[in-house]
Homo-oligomer: A and B are copies of this chain.
Amino acid sequence: MLDLQEMRKEIDVIDDQIVKLFEKRMSIAEDVAKFKIETQKPVFDRTREQEKLETLGQKTHSAFNCCGVQELYQHIMSISRKRQYQLLQESAPPETGEFRVVETLPKDKVSVVFQGVEGAYSHAAMHAFFGENIQSYHVDTWKDAMEEIKKGNAFYAVLPIENSTAGIVQDNYDLLNEYNHVIAGEQIIRCRHVLMGVPGATLEDIQSVYSHPQALMQCREFLDSHETWHCREFSNTAAAAKKVAKDGDKTQAAIASPYAAEYFGLVPLATGIYSNPGNSTRFIIVTKEKIYCKDAKKISVSYELPHESGSLYNSLSHFIYNGLNMTKIESRPIAERNWEYRFFVDFEGNLSDSAVQNALRGLKAEAQNLRVHGNY
């Protein structure tokens, strides 16, 4: 056996040859692409690729190499297709679907709907994103908020999509799929729960604490250190603050956002009561206008996949081969198709980038029902 140094030298020689052959192959693949563009043939020909993989596998001398060569060629052909989509791109107008680019999002005096009540975290997220110069109102459910922008009663809706501790809000992923709206922005809000009471109340006065069950749970350690307090569950944190303000009773406290304290004229009695100080919720700003900012940095798409070995992996290759960084992948069941899924992928980029357009072109050709949910 050779020593490691010699073996690596031999490998280097082989690699030089492979690189040369790869470049030669890509150059011919470009000619094939030009031919396909002229004759309007599709870039992706599943049958031909399958046959090619069969043939190449048969040329190898071990089961492992057969498998290895076939895997290798799936990638070589995939890289070729990426280049072919690029050439197609250059010969065609940029494809951004129905989307149009804007300098900045309209924010001044727009009407915005959110779910919940004033003082809720969505209310805070809305003002953090838009400032104060808007017309806002609230509805009972997330679906109602989607309906409001569909009907044109509001230009934007603000919806929670993910909490850093609790995970995604599944219902809002489903609503993104159900409605033909787009995500135009996002806003992350720290959930800095505080204990609040009526003006003049002190910690010693408190007998009952009102809040959402999740918030009570998140402040468990703090609450456990006050054994005599009774905890009462409420439908949301802002509603709990509202109740305490309305009752005007010094023995009552609520756990809610500092924003809710301010809104309902309550005073903080204890802060930093939260067990995970970084806990945050990400809200999305949704509209029915198909717009994106020219400096938008993140794209959300979704698509369905057939039940095939490798189909998820292959679909993700469109992001990787175009140098796009995926930041998130989620799946949701497809209604009425049991145990089949729609995948939601977030990745970095702008709809005007050619790498993004190549990836979307490839995905559109190879996955089912691709949707671009927004660029923000």
B25 and A11 within 8 A (CB): yes
How distant is A315 from chain B, measured CB to nearest CB, in Å? 10
Q: A72-B79, A316-B313, A331-B329 are in contact. Are A65 and B339 (CB under 8 A)?
A: no
- Does A26 belong to the interface (CB within 8 Å)? yes
In the complex, which of the residues B4, B28, B335 contacts A35, with contact meaning CB atoms closer than 8 Å? B4
Within 8 A of B (CB), among A131-165: 163-165
A72 and B76 within 8 A (CB): yes
In the complex, which of the residues B18, B75, B326, B330 contacts A21, with contact meaning CB atoms closer than 8 Å? B18
Annotate A96-126 by CB proximity to B: 1 below 8 A, 0 otherwise. Answer: 0000000000000000000000000000000
- What are the residues of chain B within 8 A of A341 when measuring CB–CB? 328
A276 and B335 within 8 A (CB): yes
B16 and A18 within 8 A (CB): no
A22 and B65 within 8 A (CB): yes
Annotate A206-233 by CB proximity to B: 1 below 8 A, 0 otherwise. Answer: 0000000000000000000000000000
Question: Which B residue's beta carbon lies closest to that of A61?
Answer: B23
B338 and A67 within 8 A (CB): no
B28 and A7 within 8 A (CB): yes
Query: Within the assembled complex, what's the spacing in Å between the Cα atoms of A186 and B338?
Result: 17
Interface pick from A192-200, A243-251, A295-303, A317-325: A317-325
B338 and A164 within 8 A (CB): yes
B331 and A320 within 8 A (CB): no
B338 and A26 within 8 A (CB): no
Query: Within the assembled complex, what's the spacing in Å between the Cα atoms of A336 and B279?
Result: 8
- Does A309 belong to the interface (CB within 8 Å)? yes
Query: Within the assembled complex, what's the spacing in Å between the Cα atoms of A24 and B13?
Result: 11
- Does A15 belong to the interface (CB within 8 Å)? yes
- Does A128 belong to the interface (CB within 8 Å)? no
- Does A166 belong to the interface (CB within 8 Å)? yes
- What are the residues of chain B within 8 A of A8 when measuring CB–CB? 32
How many interface residues does chain A have, given as a range?
35 or more
Q: A21-B21, A326-B312 are in contact. Are A11 and B28 (CB under 8 A)?
A: yes
Question: Which B residue's beta carbon lies closest to that of A347?
Answer: B309
How distant is A30 from chain B, measured CB to nearest CB, in Å? 9
A34 and B65 within 8 A (CB): no
Q: A86-B64, A164-B338 are in contact. Are A329 and B312 (CB under 8 A)?
A: yes
B313 and A320 within 8 A (CB): yes
- Does A235 belong to the interface (CB within 8 Å)? no
- Does A92 belong to the interface (CB within 8 Å)? no
In the complex, which of the residues B22, B52, B310 contacts A68, with contact meaning CB atoms closer than 8 Å? B22
Please name 13 pairs of A and B residues whose Cβ atoms are closer than 8 Å in the assembled complex, sorted by A: A2-B31, A7-B28, A8-B32, A10-B28, A18-B18, A19-B69, A22-B69, A23-B65, A26-B64, A26-B68, A68-B321, A278-B336, A316-B316
Task: Please give 5 more A-B residue pairs, beta carbons under 8 A apart, in addition to A7-B31, A22-B69, A166-B170.
Answer: A19-B69, A68-B83, A166-B333, A280-B339, A310-B320
